[in-house]
Amino acid sequence: MAGRPEHRRFGPGPVDVDEVASGGSGDVDIAQWATRFDLLSDPHRLEILIVLHRRPGIIVGDLAVAVGRTETAVSQALRVLRQQGWVEATRMGRSVSYRLVDNTVHELLHWIGAGHD
């Protein structure tokens, strides 16, 4: 038979194949979550986010020491995180402090076990 069947039985009830094929993801923003997971998949960025989560208002130099990276590498990672709206910067004289501002990332960090000090 040519074409797709209207319904297939998976589990306890029928599934509307057309509904699933036309975006059965509902209200989930697939692109946004893919970006989140992409950014979180980098171990260096994840480590920076965990430190920011535990130490809001940390300055770049201290953050670099905490994660064992150069200030340049940390600044580059922070730039990406700022562009996504996950992190905010506040100038304090000659220094800049950073804090995590994205509530979803905050919750995800708790979910993976990154608590506050």
**CATH code of 55's domain:** 1.10.10.10
| Average pLDDT of every residue of the chain | 86
Whether 2 is covered by a domain: the verdict is no
Whether 84 is covered by a domain: the verdict is yes
| CB-CB neighbours of 115 under 10 Å | 9
Whether 15 is covered by a domain: the verdict is no
Whether 103 is covered by a domain: the verdict is yes
Q: How confident is the model at residue 116 (pLDDT cuts 50, 70, 90)?
A: confident
Token readout for 55 is 């130490």
Q: How confident is the model at residue 9 (pLDDT cuts 50, 70, 90)?
A: low
How many domains does the chain fold into? 1
Give residue 107's domain range: 34-111
> How open is the CA angle 60-37-103, to the nearest 5 degrees?
60
Residue 15: pLDDT over 90: no
Whether 106 is covered by a domain: the verdict is yes
Contacting residues for 13 by C-beta, under 8 A, at least 6 apart: none
Whether 43 is covered by a domain: the verdict is yes
Whether 8 is covered by a domain: the verdict is no
